[in-house]
Amino acid sequence: MMGYDRAITMFSPDGRLLQVEYAKKTVRQGSTAIGMVCKDGILFVTDKRIIDKLVVPESVEKIFQIDDHIGATASGILSDARVLIERAQVKAQQHRVTFDSPIDTLSIVKDICNIKQICTQSGGLRPFGVSILVGGIDNGEGKLFETDPTGIFFQYKATAIGEGEVEIEDVLHKNYKDDTTIDEGLKLALKSLVKVLGEDFSADRLDCAYIKKGEKKFKKVSKDELNKVLAQVKKK
């Protein structure tokens, strides 16, 4: 494979774009992010992976608000994610100003993926080293999408990206149900994170947000609430 990974526009003899595969490996080394479609809304739970005690936990942002009814989280190179998220925020506001209505989640996802795809076929660029989970409420229904560095996207009921995604998806496959509520989903997500990270971590390391179907308002879960739920999960 020597030499075939020097340029993003060069396929290897067996039909692979090695730079894109390296970007996917970057995502798997990133901190964990979980998204879930619940009976009453959308839930995001992430690990901020704070390993330095001198870092201010509140300064690390891992879940982003795109619009009142749409949120996103990411794993991989978060600076790459921030550029894509800020573009999505602008697109959402432009849609409100132009059409006087909220944008649908799929339009945001397609716009993000179009930019990612361009970076897999243009010389002088590198792929975005980030996967983004985008979730929102469209016509009273929760929708969750995962985008990867190639520009491909899939719709999920629940999924995880980043470190320990295989173990977490195993927990989700066994325990997720279509009628899971946001409160139950939070416990399930924290249970899966405890399995991956061990019990020696606090709520300072977590970021969590949700959007309820009726309210359509992006809200963060407070640190006190996270501590309470985390304590319940660790007891079991």
Q: Which pLDDT value is given to residue 6?
A: 84
Instruction: Give average pLDDT by consecutive 10-residue segment, the chain, 236 residues.
Output: 80 91 95 96 94 87 96 96 97 97 97 96 92 96 96 97 94 95 96 88 91 95 92 83
Which residue, 116, 137, 145, is CA-closest to 182? 137
* CATH number for the domain harbouring residue 174: 3.60.20.10
- Examine residue 43 and state whether it is found in any structural domain, yes or no: yes
Domain interval for residue 30: 18-231
Per the structure, the count of domains in the chain is 1
Tokens of residue 208, six digits: 């969590």
The closest of 33, 34, 95 to 69, measured between CA atoms, is 95
H or E segment to which residue 36 belongs: strand 33-38
pLDDT at 234: 83
Q: If you write DSSP's letter for every residue of 126-195 in order, what string do you get?
A: ----EEEEEEEEETTEEEEEEE-TTS-EEEESEEEESTTHHHHHHHHHHH--TT--HHHHHHHHHHHHHH
Whether 4 maps to a domain, the answer reads no
Q: What is the Cα–Cα distance from 160 to 195, expressed in whole angstroms? A: 14
* pLDDT reported for residue 5: 86
